[in-house]
Amino acid sequence: MEDKLTFRRYHDGEENYQRWSEDIFNEDTSYKCPTYVHKTPPCQGSCPSGEDIRGWLQIVRGIEKPAEGMSWQEYAFRRSTTANPFPSMMGRVCPAPCQEGCNRNEVEDFVGINSVEQFIGDHALDKGFGFEKPAQETGKKVAIIGGGVAGMAAAYQLRRRGHGATIFDERAELGGMSRYGIPGYRMPRDIMDGENRRIIDMGVEVRMNTRVGRDISFEQLEQDYDAILLAIGAQQGRTLNVPGGDAPNCVSGVAFLAAFNEERMHFTAEKVVVIGGGDTAMDVISVARRLGHIRNSHENDRPESIIRNLTAHDVAATASREGSDVLLIYRRPIEQMPAAEHEVVTAEQEGVRIRGSLAPVELVLDKDGRATALRVIEVDWSDGKMTPKEGSEFDIECDLVVPAVGQSGDLSGLEQFDNGRGLIDADKYYQIPDKPGYFVCGDIVRPHLLTTAIGQASIAADSIDRYLDSEENDKRPKVDVHHFQLLDKLREAHLAPEAYSQTQGWGTDAADYAVHNYEDRSQQEIIPHDELYLGHFPFTPRNHRIETGVNADEVLGSFKERFQGLAESEAQAEAGRCMSCGLCFECDNCVIYCPQDAVLRTPPKEATMGRYVYTDYDRCIGCHICAEVCPTGYIKMGLGA
């Protein structure tokens, strides 16, 4: 280890040295022998879409082998898209909670999961990998209202099950908030279109420029479809609830980004104040710095006129634009902002000023009702709650105020589903309570991450599938993700157990109709770092994507994509940093260190992922050494009395 000590055989207070050889002869009285226990890694447990992250990292690094006739790149793509059909998109914009949960943080630095995912997705687009159409059609049809990532992910999962899916969307193009909320330099439109096209090519019908409740009624949908899924997103920004908050030049972050992404707004105001600390706020300040402003612009060219869709900018005017002064304020301290730390650092490098612990009090208006300043007050959070500091009010001059303080759905025509907060209620199966045949997923349930919407869509599709088959919903597992399945892997490798027959007898450890010496706890447990042998892992620097970052002097008019993807060798090296928490990654420690030669490699013709070694229990004396040196925590001393 070059960084820090991560494994100690002896701890403070253990003063009596005992040799491992003495442990061996003592431990044979424990009657405990090794078994192999599969658990969910924390990266996957932290992933709202439940991807089998460990699985596709193992494929990229070359440990888990693809089926015959398939490249490892395609195999990794197939595994990753079991849960998430947008690897290229999510590899770019997901804030990667999986990386925060990564056990490698206990050694040095997390595995760059999103960078490897981007490589998988970009390679798939480059090679034209598509999704297979279902082998059999069920004849059932589902209407999906909303063509954002939630609706598209649900259509994908439903088509995999053989159900018909029709997308209804009021916009001209698919993508929802991923298209109209995220800037193109973070989410390239050709990438988005390519990943959406794969889903459409599965046989998904699309009806754009169609608003349900206006252009088509729910009564008509109920007649034509067997189930209805609402995935309309939360595309309305909340207003600033202070005196003067209805000023014309106080516009929501959602509306600001939509005007930019629809290519109506080509410059903004000179002094922009943004309120908020989440992803939307970070996108607004980034876009505002890139757009800049025009001196002495016409009244019709004011950004609020563009944002409110009263007019549009002439792109030629951008030739004379200058940089804008952009300030972000947040009620809580800066370090408590929900936005990723990297986004905060990048914004400051691009020339955005950020101030925490400031709360809006009111907008100062001129005689025409436009805001000229935002009055704020300093607040203290030392006791855990917000306490205004008396006498600390001051004004911040501004030409445009952009609150990014929450979102809700546009439920006009869908008022029957409104829960009173501009959102729609759902049960744990993403059914709408007391509305049989109606389901809901995505931001309209609770505005959150794109990956959260994808995970909800998968569960909703499963619930719809059961509803269409008139089946009761099973209890959702405690760890509700897309798990590695050893039986599926054995079948893929032509090693599936034989069919069981009671005439073959009971309780034999040699029967080939069962998978022996294996326990799957993945649906119940996430493996923590203290069950791993961290001392096995040397300090290995992370393979960083090249960031085409810009400083404050270069940001104006810079709309290049922020990250350059990893090369193939870099992606494989980064995947090699995965510690395979909770599943064997074939390091041979247990084979090498077993003093009885009781742990042996499975013969190559019988081996596959998760079945690399086995134990000869006639030789095992229960010394525990194999479990001690297992880096991944896959070996547990569990067999015996």
CA geometry: angle 633, 639, 641, nearest 5 deg:
130
Specify if 556 maps to a domain: no
Extract the tokens encoding 563.
């990250």
Residue 315, pLDDT score: 80
| Domain endpoint, select from 407, 424, 443 | 407
Residue 1, pLDDT score: 43
Specify if 246 maps to a domain: yes
Q: What mean pLDDT do residues 506-535 have?
A: 86
> Could you tell me if 190 and 264 lie in one domain?
no
> Could you tell me if 177 and 251 lie in one domain?
no
pLDDT at 277 > cutoff 90: yes
Specify if 3 maps to a domain: no
Kindly write down the DSSP assignment for every residue of 89-109, as one continuous string. HHHHH---HHHHH-GGGGTSS
194 near 86, Cβ under 8 Å? no
Q: Write down the H helix ranges in 316-447.
A: 341-349
Q: How far is CA 311 from CA 183, 275, 302, 305, 390, in A?
A: 21, 25, 9, 6, 43
The per-residue pLDDT for range 600-628, each reduced to its tens digit, is 999 999 999 999 999 998 898 888 899 99
Give the residue among 302, 183, 264, 172 at the shortest CA–CA distance from 558. 183
Q: Lowest mean pLDDT of 7-11, 277-281, 500-504, 629-633, name the range.
A: 7-11
Cα dihedral across residues 220, 153, 445, 214: positive or negative = negative
Euclidean distance between CA atoms 615 and 631, whole angstroms: 17
| Three-state secondary-structure class, residue 37 | strand
CATH number of the domain bearing residue 434: 3.50.50.60
> Could you tell me if 154 and 214 lie in one domain?
yes
> Could you tell me if 287 and 154 lie in one domain?
no
Residue 33, pLDDT score: 86
Euclidean distance between CA atoms 119 and 570, whole angstroms: 10
Q: What mean pLDDT do residues 268-273 have?
A: 96
pTM for the complete prediction? 0.91
The boundaries of the domain holding residue 197 are 141-235+409-468
Euclidean distance between CA atoms 510 and 379, whole angstroms: 70
pLDDT band at 32 (very low <50, low <70, confident <90, very high): confident
Specify if 136 maps to a domain: no
Residue 508, pLDDT score: 62
Mean of pLDDT over the chain = 92
> Could you tell me if 243 and 388 lie in one domain?
yes
| Domain endpoint, select from 385, 407, 429 | 407
Give the residue among 463, 465, 471, 484 at the shortest CA–CA distance from 161. 465
pLDDT band at 309 (very low <50, low <70, confident <90, very high): confident
pLDDT at 20 > cutoff 60: no
Could you list the beta-strand ranges (E) of 471-542: 518-520
pLDDT at 340 > cutoff 90: no
450 near 94, Cβ under 8 Å? yes
> Could you tell me if 310 and 276 lie in one domain?
yes
Extract the tokens encoding 429.
């199966």
The per-residue pLDDT for range 443-493, each reduced to its tens digit, is 999 999 999 999 999 999 999 999 999 999 999 999 999 999 999 999 998
Rg (CA), the chain: 28
Residue 17, pLDDT score: 60
Give the chain's domain count. 2
| Three-state secondary-structure class, residue 480 | coil
Residue in the structure block whose two tokens are 């022996």: 516
Give the residue among 92, 67, 231 at the shortest CA–CA distance from 156. 231
Q: Lowest mean pLDDT of 165-174, 457-466, 544-553, name the range.
A: 544-553
Specify if 47 maps to a domain: no
> Could you tell me if 376 and 416 lie in one domain?
no
Specify if 364 maps to a domain: yes
Residue 505, pLDDT score: 61
> Could you tell me if 351 and 281 lie in one domain?
yes
| Domain endpoint, select from 399, 433, 468 | 468
Sheet holding 438-440, edge to edge: 205-207, 164-168, 141-145, 227-230, 438-440
The per-residue pLDDT for range 208-258, each reduced to its tens digit, is 999 999 999 999 999 999 999 999 999 999 889 999 999 999 999 999 999
> Could you tell me if 360 and 260 lie in one domain?
yes
> Could you tell me if 165 and 258 lie in one domain?
no
Give the pairing type, strands 271-275 and 325-329.
parallel
> Could you tell me if 299 and 357 lie in one domain?
yes
Give the residue among 299, 287, 375, 379 at the shortest CA–CA distance from 326. 287
The per-residue pLDDT for range 368-398, each reduced to its tens digit, is 999 999 999 999 999 989 999 999 999 999 9
The per-residue pLDDT for range 137-156, each reduced to its tens digit, is 999 999 999 999 999 999 99
> Could you tell me if 321 and 222 lie in one domain?
no
Residue 534, pLDDT score: 93
